[in-house]
Chain A
């Protein structure tokens, strides 16, 4: 039994080993121990979506997963998505459409949008609204975010 755990995982393609407190959330590990502050911490109970990251190809809430549970997993944060070019088109569309103001929700919003696009989601406003309903934005009113996601899907098809 231990209140700390040894973990080995991959973060944005790089191997990481660490000894972490049992209670440490994955998003706090990424931010505070690895310095990857692109993932934001909002509500800390899975409602706001600001900490959404990608683990083994699936979007998850970084605040609802322990760092200990990420042992052996591949984690992708907004830093990795941006560096690999995975989020480039979305970032450009968000800028063009004014889909962010303060930007606090944006990293999580981009991760969720990538989840939607990777799953083959259509440029259907209602479906996109439903998909991002777990990501709160207090600035934009969402319309421009939906516009940006639609743009990326439509551009990829033409």
Chain B
């Protein structure tokens, strides 16, 4: 199908974009890469009255290494993330995860900010943000604010973003040289949404583990993190997954997802980067 009609707005900077968000009436949506929003509009699951295309907002672009963190503009595409020398050198977790996101033609347009704002429970980026202890910088009519990834994802396609707010950038604490990462994702076919996936970061025996595709949002699993830090056996670690409320849908029921999450976790641990 084709998308229903809408107004198309194209602000040339962040202030203009925020003004349009604040002034908007009815259902106005920001347009980042559009690789989820456009299908939703074509299916008519989404029918915004207006789209605010963020393509020209320079404040949302670029990757910079700041004092102790790496700043990634919200409009950075997956392909740009993959080819960025700072990201490749400092945060190899992106390189492990991004090849699992759809296909080349989608990764050329899809953005990290768009994925976080949508908060699809099966998407990779929210889990990576949890694992990397990222902070999400947003701006709105009441000014800018920073939200920890741990406080950002509230539920099924639900985030801490207010109606008038836009994600401007993502700040990731620069990983230490001893940081190791693990990632594994199980899908029906390559590029599909995850039935179960896991991202792991560890430094100085401090673990951060996030699962995606298994519940209403990407979630950290503190019991697994603690067990891994204790050096507990993998079996005991995997048994701790019982505490999660696994989602059921046509692709897989909760029991299957639980089993797949255990497999993904075991494989991610096994193949940690060294």
> A residues engaging B (CB < 8 A)?
1-3, 5, 21-23, 25, 28, 44-46, 49, 52, 58-61, 63-66, 68-69, 71, 112, 115-116, 130-131, 133-135
Is the CB–CB distance between B3 and A59 below 8 Å? no
Is the CB–CB distance between B38 and A63 below 8 Å? yes
Contact of B156 with A by CB under 8 A = no
Whether A115 contacts B104 in the complex (CB less than 8 A), given A69-B53, A134-B191, comes out as: yes
> B residues engaging A (CB < 8 A)?
1-10, 31, 34-35, 38-39, 42-43, 50-51, 53, 55, 79, 99, 102-106, 108-109, 189-191
Complex Cα–Cα for A129 and B43 (A): 28
Contacts of B4 in A (CB 8 A): 23
Whether A58 contacts B34 in the complex (CB less than 8 A), given A5-B8, A22-B8, A45-B43, comes out as: no
Q: Can you list 30 A-B pairs with a CB-CB distance of less than 8 A? A: A2-B8, A5-B8, A22-B7, A22-B51, A25-B38, A28-B2, A44-B2, A44-B42, A45-B39, A46-B39, A49-B105, A58-B108, A59-B105, A60-B108, A60-B109, A61-B106, A64-B39, A65-B34, A65-B109, A66-B38, A69-B53, A112-B104, A112-B105, A130-B190, A131-B103, A133-B189, A134-B103, A134-B104, A134-B106, A135-B103
Is the CB–CB distance between B102 and A134 below 8 Å? yes
Is the CB–CB distance between A64 and B8 below 8 Å? no
Closest to B6 in A: A22
Query: Chain A interface mostly helix, strand, loop or mixed?
Result: mixed
Contacts of A71 in B (CB 8 A): 10
Closest to B53 in A: A69
Contacts of A49 in B (CB 8 A): 103, 105
Whether A46 contacts B106 in the complex (CB less than 8 A), given A25-B2, A66-B8, comes out as: yes
Nearest CB of A to B242, in Å: 34
Whether A115 contacts B190 in the complex (CB less than 8 A), given A22-B8, A63-B42, comes out as: no
Is the CB–CB distance between A1 and B7 below 8 Å? yes
Is the CB–CB distance between B35 and A64 below 8 Å? yes
Nearest CB of A to B95, in Å: 15
Closest to B110 in A: A64
Closest to A25 in B: B2
- The 3 A-B pairs of least Cβ separation, nearest first, read A134-B103, A45-B39, A22-B8
Contacts of B109 in A (CB 8 A): 60-61, 64-65
Complex Cα–Cα for A130 and B102 (A): 10
Residue among B3, B35, B51, B104 facing the most chain A CB atoms (10 A cut-off): B104
Complex Cα–Cα for A148 and B196 (A): 34
Nearest CB of A to B112, in Å: 17
Is the CB–CB distance between A133 and B190 below 8 Å? yes
Nearest CB of A to B207, in Å: 30
Whether A46 contacts B35 in the complex (CB less than 8 A), given A58-B108, A61-B109, comes out as: yes
Closest to A44 in B: B42
Is the CB–CB distance between B9 and A61 below 8 Å? no
Contacts of B104 in A (CB 8 A): 59, 112, 115-116, 131, 134
Nearest CB of A to B226, in Å: 36
